[in-house]
Chains A and B, each alone.
Chain A
Amino acid sequence: MWDSWIFKMAWRDSRGSRRQLSLFLSSMIVGVAALVAITSFGQNLERAIDDEAKALLGADLIIEADEPFGAETEALMDSLGGEQSRRVSFASMAYFSTTEDTRLANVRGIEGGYPFYGSVETTPPEASNTYLADGHALVDASLMQQYGIEVGDSVSVGRNTYAIAGRLDKKPRENELMAVFSPSVYIPLAGVDSTLLGMGSRAEYDVAFRFDDGRDVEALVDEIGPRLRENDVGFDTVEEVREDWDEILTNLYRFLSVVAFIAVLLGGIGVASAIHVYIRRRLSTIAVLRCVGAVAGRTFAIYAVQAAVMGLIGGLIGAVLGIGIQVFVPFVLSDFLPFDVPFTLVWGAVAGGLALGVGATVLFALLPLVSIRRISPLLTLRATVTQEASDVRDPLWWGVLAVIAVGMTAFAVSNAPAPEVGLGYAGGLAAVFAALLGVARLIMWATRRFFPTGWAYTWRQGLANLFRPNNQTSTLMLSLGLGTFLIATLFGVQRTLLGQIEIAGGSERPNIVLFDIQPDEIDAVMEIVDENGLPVVARVPIVTMRLSAVNGRSIEAMREDSTVDLSWAHRREYRSTYRDYLNESERVIEGEFIGETDPEEDVVPISLEEEIAGRLDVGIGDTLTWDVQGYEVIGRVASIRHVDWQRIGTNFFVVFPNGVLEEAPQFLVLLSRAEDTAASARLQRDVVRAFPSVSAIDLSLVLSTFDAIFSRVSFVVRFMASFSILTGLIVLIGAVVVSRVQRTRESVLLKTLGASRRQVVRIMIVEYLFLGFFAALTGLVLSFASGWGFAALVFETTYRPDLSAVVAMLVVVPVLTVAIGLISGRGIYKRPPLDVLRADV
């Protein structure tokens, strides 16, 4: 059957339609380009992680703890040998005397040659080599930029002041985004103000190792790991860093793959709709071929060959474009990556994109192509012969649909973190598709059923185009609706997340947090707040403690029992508070909150946060024994609380009642509220000058930082989503251009019958306006559902749709549709009626 005649006929038949075909193809080109770009980028990323893993850690091994190392650990580290470098990291206020600004910074006291691999990049470059010996500081580029600080100015951390030797441009283990949220200041370890590392401080200590003897670090940590863990000491190896980044980037890569997948899917829809219309225009040709003796299979093969060649060409162009786009992806993601991703040609990705392009084009083209088998040769005698059976009665059509569904699901599953997520994703997408198609059908039915017969002629004609034969309602609903849905979901999620922060920083809430205040400093700090004319909204005591036993069984005993799943909740240091009331951000979900207890009680009622209770596997009535800096306190779980962690404020895993911890070593947090940034900056400066160990956070700064970070994230998401949107637009243009063929005949007939140019244009405007409006509306309604799902299930908060974006899209999408419709339909009215009526269009 597959003889040369089929290829010859496929070539001949495509004459005069190649430009039209290439337009249809462009939707698939964008899809394949996205896929190739993203897959290539993913593989280059993987290679970069392998190459950069050592530089990411900056050492062969890092041993770390959140308190100074004990004698046993020090002895163990001494015995390991190798080159060592020590580091202490803690949050503290950095004060810039030149500008009198203060800012909470991530201070790192460094001693030795860390990083051993990779480098700290500074401006000037030599600063990274000299600052330790000179006793100077390096300050994050974002921080210097924010406050207009120059190299040579000074920065104070605690009671010590350092000259700024250079600007930190790049450092191991951190990306630019981390720097925005928590900017770093590097100082020599010997120069750290020791008062900043006292009781209640949250410093992290680590020692980095470089081994030149080629020893097996993984085997080494297998050996020393248990001893380190016993002392609550952790470690990082190159392999762990590689795995961590692999995991993070695999998730990123999966997200991007999903975007590419949607683009390919939209491309497929574009192809299917284009071929559908293409075949309709070929009905008489197919009927003639059948009439003069071509069997159904050979006729079908002519168009299948065309589809395959289209797919191949589209795939090739897409692959080349994808390689080009790949150059830009690392640029877009540069903020998120702590290393450069090299550009190399990944032939596997190119081949994969090509295969998917051809496969998807052919499969989606087959949906309309199978109907060729049923086209009757009788059409040569009668133009109005209807097909004998519709697609839904054709088993082959269902077969093709099943292959597409299985292929889609397989792709989704293979790119999802878990099979059920992939299945859920495929199911969700299928539901969106079904909903869009369902609404399209509903629109066609409702327009016909409730047709406004009293409307003006142009309105009636335009509306009738929604349901008349050869209408584009379903295609446009899918392409426009899906595009609108994706963008609106994105806006909705962004608005919801920002909304949460705004609630947290609402007009009546505190927006300045002063913390690490010692009990003997609290009165003076409150006085400074008062002098600045600002209120003290709350003072919250914080007591650090560790868990020593659960229901009387010690953590040590549990650690040795392999049947017990010991989690971070058992090992962590807790910062708890005591009070006799519940915050606005918490509510009791089990038991009774008890706010007061008798100091003489042996067992005190405590309240646990629900997640930590789950981690510790305890419930109401269970006992937890706490080591409060040497003193033992036994708590009975009296209540379990749900805490809304998204609300910025003072939230705790464990809340004790008044009457127990008042005498324990503690520090305090003070909440205040400033009306403007100047007042806030003044308060921070006054407090830090008087008490250098006290830190401050300005919530409005956090809000703007969060906004900046989200803007960057959303830029990436939008950049990727633009592939889908672009494909959707091409599908839209294709659909409009295709429907032009139909509309040209009608418009010319109307013109012949006396319709004015204005009437013809109005009819087109009405049709595209309605299509654009309904598609946008459906996409928006669906985005509410998905946005609500994200908010409720992922972010556990209330959905807040971005109403301004909703209104904007309700206007922009229909206007865009009309514009494309009018541009592609221009000139229709100029054509002489005879030209069109005589032509075999």
Chain B
Amino acid sequence: MAPVLSVHHLTKTYRSGTRTLTVLDDVSFDVRPGETCAVVGPSGSGKTTLLGLCAGLDRSSDGTVDLCGHRLNDMSEDALARLRNQEVGFIFQTFQLIPTLTALENVMVPSELRGDRSARERALELLRQVGLEDRTTHYPTQLSGGEQQRVAIARAFINRPTVLFADEPTGNLDADTGATIEDLIFDLNETRGTTLVMVTHNLDLAGRTGRIISLRGGEIVSDESTKIGDMRSAVS
């Protein structure tokens, strides 16, 4: 089966004054459909940079990224935006809800962008699934952190994405709420068969995925299946 995400010799450098900083150095890996994958590593190891490049939010200095059969390097900004809308869902550490939109409206945005007339019904269904059916008209500032992240999860799933990119999804939450959010992400991921690429510091959370890619100094130092991954491989 062709990989959903294929990263080859990916390098990202930044210029800082006269110095050139290499944040990612010749990184390569593939992610298959339905696979769950965690990218771990210490601060500054290049995790978030890698996520941004894989999701088409940033441009690489060298190497290629293929997402859902599209070579991202060759695409315009607008084409990347359309691809993200159709194939990608995002969950962020800081939730990234639009403050002027209600919970329901926040969830509807990706679907409305596609011109989908059933956006409202689907958004309501998703909000029901994440347990926020009575908070639909609330604005982000009227919601707790956990509630905000649940709205973000509903938004991420509304367009039935092929890949879900998550950046420290429980990083801003207390332990109990974090655990609830983890369950929600994995449940939805499993029922919808979405590929999950998650950046996290949390090794327990990483352990719930099928594969862990460890980064250090911009390079992959290990790329291993977890027990869950092994179990999934055995089942498949």
Contact = CB atoms under 8 A, between A and B. Distances in A.
Given A5-B113, A16-B100, A382-B48, 6 more contacts: A12-B105, A285-B98, A285-B99, A292-B85, A292-B155, A293-B81
13 contacts: A12-B100, A13-B100, A15-B100, A284-B96, A291-B57, A292-B84, A293-B85, A293-B159, A296-B78, A377-B84, A380-B92, A381-B92, A382-B52
Given A12-B105, A289-B109, A295-B81, A380 B98 contact: no
A136 interface: no
Interface SS of chain A: helix
B96 A288 contact: yes
Contacts of B84: 291-293, 377
A292 B100 contact: no
Interface in B90-128: 90, 92, 96-101, 105, 109-110, 112-115
Contact of B90 (A8, A12, A380, A839): A380
A377 B57 contact: yes
A212 interface: no
Interface of B: 48, 51-52, 57-58, 77-78, 81-82, 84-86, 90, 92, 96-101, 105, 109-110, 112-115, 140-141, 155, 159, 167
Interface in A283-312: 284-285, 287-298
A467 B92 CA distance: 33
B154 to A, nearest CB: 12
Contacts of A5: 112-113, 115
A3 B85 contact: no
A380 B96 contact: yes
Given A12-B100, A381-B167, A294 B57 contact: no
A507 interface: no
A839 B57 contact: no
B86 A293 contact: yes
Q: Which 8 A-B residue pairings sit nearest by Cβ, starting from the closest?
A: A293-B85, A295-B78, A15-B100, A292-B110, A378-B57, A377-B57, A285-B98, A295-B81
A296 B96 CA distance: 18
B58 A378 contact: yes
Contact of A293 (B48, B58, B82): B82
Contacts of B105: 12
Interface of A: 3, 5, 8-9, 12-17, 284-285, 287-298, 376-378, 380-382, 839-840
Nearest to B140: A840
A18 B57 CA distance: 31
Contacts of A295: 77-78, 81-82
Contacts of A284: 96
Which residue, A9, A17, A287, A291, has most C-beta atoms of chain B within 10 A? A291
A293 B100 contact: no
B90 A291 contact: yes
Q: Is the interface of B mostly helix, strand, loop or mixed?
A: helix
Contacts of A17: 100
Given A380-B92, A381-B167, A16 B99 contact: yes
B173 to A, nearest CB: 14
Contacts of B77: 295-296
Contact of A378 (B52, B78, B115, B155): B52
Contacts of B78: 295-297
A437 B97 CA distance: 37
B48 A381 contact: yes
Given A381-B52, A840-B140, A294 B113 contact: yes
B197 to A, nearest CB: 13
A839 B51 contact: no
B57 A381 contact: yes
B115 A292 contact: no
A12 B105 CA distance: 9
Contact of B100 (A8, A14, A290, A296): A14
A57 to B, nearest CB: 64
Contacts of B101: 12-13, 15
With most chain B CB atoms within 10 A of its CB, the pick from A8, A285, A295 is A295
Q: Name the residue in A296, A297, A377, A381 with the highest tally of chain B Cβ atoms < 10 Å from its Cβ.
A: A381
A618 B100 CA distance: 78
Contacts of B58: 376, 378
A650 to B, nearest CB: 76
Given A291-B57, A294-B81, A295-B81, A840 B109 contact: no
Given A15-B100, A839-B141, A292 B90 contact: yes
A306 to B, nearest CB: 11
Contacts of B98: 13, 285, 288-289
Contacts of B90: 291-292, 380
Contacts of A376: 57-58
Contacts of A12: 100-101, 105
A783 to B, nearest CB: 43
A489 B96 CA distance: 51
A377 B53 CA distance: 11
A378 B113 CA distance: 19
Nearest to B106: A288
Contacts of B112: 5, 8
A292 B113 contact: yes
A293 B115 contact: no
B66 to A, nearest CB: 19
Residue from B110, B114, B140 having most chain A Cβ neighbours under 10 A = B110
Contacts of A287: 96
Contacts of A840: 99, 140-141
A840 B85 CA distance: 25
Nearest to A294: B113
Nearest to A281: B99
A350 to B, nearest CB: 33
Nearest to A297: B78
- Chain B CB within 10 A, most for which of A289, A293, A294: A293
B113 A381 contact: no
B96 A291 contact: yes
A12 B82 CA distance: 22
Contacts of B57: 291, 376-378, 380-381
Contacts of B110: 292-293
Interface centre among A15, A284, A377 (most CB of B within 10 A): A377
Nearest to A385: B58
A376 B109 CA distance: 18
Contacts of B113: 5, 292-294, 298
Contacts of B85: 292-294
